[in-house]
Amino acid sequence: MVSRAGYGENSTIVGDLGQSVPRFLQFCIECASVTPLVGVIILLAFIAVRRRFQPPPAPARRRRGPTRATLFTPEERSFLVVTLAIGLAYAMTMALTQSRDMIWAVGARYTPALIPFSMMLAGLLIAKVGGPSRRRWVALMLLFGFTRFAQITPWAFWADPVPLRDPGDLVAVHEPTLALARILRTQQIAYVQSLARPNPGVIARICEFLTANAAPGDIVITNYDWEAVYFHTGLPQGMKVLPSFPIYDAVRDHDLPRYVFSADGARWIVWRRVWAPVWGQDCEAILRRFAAAGIPVRLVASIPETLYENRENVHFRRFGAEGYIFPWFENLPDALIFRVDWPQGGGS
């Protein structure tokens, strides 16, 4: 997806102030899709209008102080100001340091930090709007808790559900695929169902295969997510330090095993075809080289590609029963696992 150089370019402080405006709007949309930001704005507007047109109480005899009761206590006003200032500063920081594409793709990694603040704001405003009426309290709690009317989703039915942002759009909107999911919090049901249903992704399937078929010490080469593969299998990882890396010469002086620097001796090649050779581990080139050298290589497994494991971003969350609530990529090429049958004494 994003290489080291690409991520650095996408996280550079903006030089043109005009670029920060669409970035700021994009981050606000990301926040509004996972927090009750729209509901908070509507409640604040309702309180302001009601306060403006509410007649003052009749003046009491010898009454001291203001004739109209204070809506918020000093502590509540301080909380409102501080919380809104934190949200504004957060959004401005994202607008200055992240591109629109980066905010669209991974911006919701940062929005969870604003969820507790927005929920506390919503709770305070619900208490103020509900007042002594239990029916109003219950209605607002149900509206905020089980529907998306406090978020941007129901208000953006014009947006097409797409897994990638259109570069021509000024501001893109994350939209669920089904209309019902834009109104109700269907992911809550999907999450509960996921608790009782296994939901292994591509990494889990790869590790299951290697655990069942690889011998201890077999060298594995893969072009993506090798940390997770190593963590779950303990198999050594080949071809991890390439000559193109700035640290190559320094690392070579530390007498590391030969397989760290090349594909020689690799027994398994896990080719995640959906990913380009992000760090230079080009599995296709390795297979061509082995074929040219007459080294037998067999395709032993083909595993459905899920691209990511379950992520903290609800826009990329894979639920066990419902799949993806937000649109997802179609026709992803399977991950392929090859076994290298080295000649006697030529490999591990």
165 and 265 inside one domain: no
Q: Is 24 part of any domain?
A: yes
Query: pLDDT (tens digit, 0 to 9) for every residue of the chain, 348 residues total?
Result: 344 454 555 556 666 677 888 889 989 998 898 899 999 999 999 998 888 877 665 555 555 554 455 678 889 999 999 999 999 999 998 888 888 888 887 766 677 788 899 999 999 999 999 888 889 999 999 999 999 999 998 999 988 888 888 888 888 888 899 999 999 988 888 888 888 888 889 999 999 999 999 999 999 999 999 999 999 999 999 998 888 888 888 888 888 888 899 888 999 999 999 998 777 788 999 999 999 999 999 999 999 999 887 776 788 888 887 788 888 888 999 999 999 998 875 554
- Residue entry with tokens 């050594």: 236
241 and 131 inside one domain: no
Tell me what pLDDT residue 190 has. 86
Q: Is 193 part of any domain?
A: no
How far the first Cα of the chain sits from its last, in Å, is: 32
Tell me what pLDDT residue 9 has. 52
Q: Are 334 and 184 in contact (CB under 8 A)?
A: no
330 and 286 inside one domain: yes
Tell me what pLDDT residue 292 has. 94
Give dist(CA 314, CA 182) in Å, integer: 13
Q: Is 191 part of any domain?
A: no
- Sheet with 220-222, edge to edge strand ranges: 220-222, 268-271, 335-340, 297-303
239 and 284 inside one domain: yes
Angle, CA of 102, 107 and 110, to the nearest 5°: 140
Tell me what pLDDT residue 196 has. 85
Task: Give the domain extent around 174.
Answer: 4-184
State whether residue 269 is helix, strand or coil.
strand
Q: Give the total number of structural domains in the chain.
A: 2
107 and 242 inside one domain: no
Encoding tokens for residue 314? Answer: 């609800």
Q: Is 190 part of any domain?
A: no
Tell me what pLDDT residue 316 has. 83
- Of 150, 184, 218, which residue is a domain's last? 184
140 and 220 inside one domain: no
Q: Is 113 part of any domain?
A: yes
228 and 102 inside one domain: no
Q: Are 347 and 267 in contact (CB under 8 A)?
A: yes
Tell me what pLDDT residue 279 has. 72
- What amino acid is encoded at 122 in this protein? A
Q: Is 102 part of any domain?
A: yes
164 closest CA partner among 316, 31, 24, 279: 316
121 and 21 inside one domain: yes
305 and 177 inside one domain: no
179 and 54 inside one domain: yes
Tell me what pLDDT residue 311 has. 73
Tell me what pLDDT residue 108 has. 62
Q: Is 177 part of any domain?
A: yes
Give dist(CA 318, CA 345) in Å, integer: 44
- Of 184, 217, 234, which residue is a domain's last? 184
Give dist(CA 6, CA 226) in Å, integer: 20
Give dist(CA 105, CA 164) in Å, integer: 8
Q: Is 192 part of any domain?
A: no
57-62 — which CB contacts under 8 Å span 24+ positions? none
273 closest CA partner among 222, 325, 227, 321: 222
Torsions phi, psi of 279, nearest 5? -105, 5
138 and 256 inside one domain: no
- Of 151, 184, 217, which residue is a domain's last? 184
Give dist(CA 3, CA 245) in Å, integer: 13
121 and 15 inside one domain: yes
